């Protein structure tokens, strides 16, 4: 059998592939939105996102380029936007499934420990996220990724494996994963700010809500000494950079 650390690294890599796919979709989407400003950069504080500039931009009058397009061109742009949203939902659904499995694996080991109630609370919130995405992919007829079985296994192995190394290691895993997920949600919120995405306002608000809740999980992990885990930097690097 492979050494324990190698198996954990493989699980990290599998989950991170899903998160990185979302970054690619967001990058492609941003190129279609020419009115967004450079002021929408990430804040200096890596633990928070400032929505002030986002909300200001939402109120700025901006004429849509679609007004001067033919019916066929508008139809094509609509189809392109729907494809982008479908990919966002597909990736987010898989990511939330992985997050649920991570907490399930951690609870298997640490449910009766001092951090058990904290992990359970975060796990319950991830279940709500997953249920929301299951409804969205169903309502919008989005085909889930064929890699769902992999997320199930990799997420559970990652959660149980880090928990077996102690509560700090489990929290270090939480911090690393939630930071990546919250960054992706924030990128998606920015993409959906354009006037051509007005009909997706509900989706944008939902992504923003989930982003803030993932950030709460990250802060909770830090409060429970995640950064004191001996392999914290290495684990974070594997999650973020694969």
Global pTM value:
0.74
**Do 33 and 191 touch, CB atoms closer than 8 A?**
yes
Please answer whether residues 99 and 129 qualify as being in contact, where contact means their C-beta atoms are separated by less than 8 angstroms: yes
Which pLDDT score is estimated for 11? Answer: 47
Place of tokens 């109120």: 59
pLDDT given for residue 119 in this prediction: 98
3-state helix, strand, coil in the chain (%, to 5): 75, 0, 25
CA distance 208 to 103: 22
Fold of the CATH domain 4-27+72-241: Ferritin (1.20.1260)
What is the mean pLDDT of each successive set of 10 residues along the chain, which is 242 residues long?
43 48 47 43 53 50 55 81 95 94 97 97 97 96 92 93 94 94 94 91 96 97 94 78 61
Where residue 50 falls (left for φ over 0; alpha for ψ -120 to 50; beta otherwise) is beta
Q: Where are the domains of the chain?
A: 4-27+72-241
Q: How far apart are CA 196 and CA 204, in angstroms?
A: 13
Give the number of C-alpha atoms closer than 13 A to the C-alpha of residue 135, restricted to the C-beta side. Answer: 8
Residue 239 near residue 12, CB atoms below 8 Å: yes
Half-sphere exposure of 66 (CA within 13 A, CB side): 17
């Amino acid at each position: 059998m492979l050494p324990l650390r190698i198996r954990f690294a493989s699980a990290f890599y599998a989950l991170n592939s899903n998160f990185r796919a979302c970054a690619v979709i967001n990058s492609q989407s941003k190129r279609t939105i020419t009115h967004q400003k450079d002021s929408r950069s990430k804040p200096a504080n890596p633990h928070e996102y400032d929505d002030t500039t986002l909300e200001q931009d939402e109120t700025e009058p901006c004429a849509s380029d679609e007004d001067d397009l033919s019916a066929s061109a508008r139809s094509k742009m609509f189809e392109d936007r729907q494809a982008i949203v479908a990919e966002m939902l597909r990736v987010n659904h898989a990511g939330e499934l992985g997050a649920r499995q991570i907490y399930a694996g951690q609870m298997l080991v640490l449910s009766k420990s001092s951090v058990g109630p904290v992990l359970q609370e975060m796990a319950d919130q991830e279940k709500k996220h997953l249920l929301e995405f299951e409804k969205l992919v169903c309502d919008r007829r989005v085909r889930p990724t064929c890699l769902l079985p992999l997320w199930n296994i990799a997420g559970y192995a990652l959660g149980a494996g880090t928990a077996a190394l102690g509560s700090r290691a489990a929290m270090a895993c939480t911090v690393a994963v939630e930071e990546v997920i919250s960054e992706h949600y924030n990128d998606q919120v920015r993409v959906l700010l354009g006037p051509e995405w007005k009909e997706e306002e509900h989706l944008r608000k939902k992504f923003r809500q989930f982003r803030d809740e993932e950030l709460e999980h990250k802060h909770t992990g830090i409060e429970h000494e995640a950064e004191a885990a001996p392999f914290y930097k290495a684990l974070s690097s594997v999650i973020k950079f694969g």
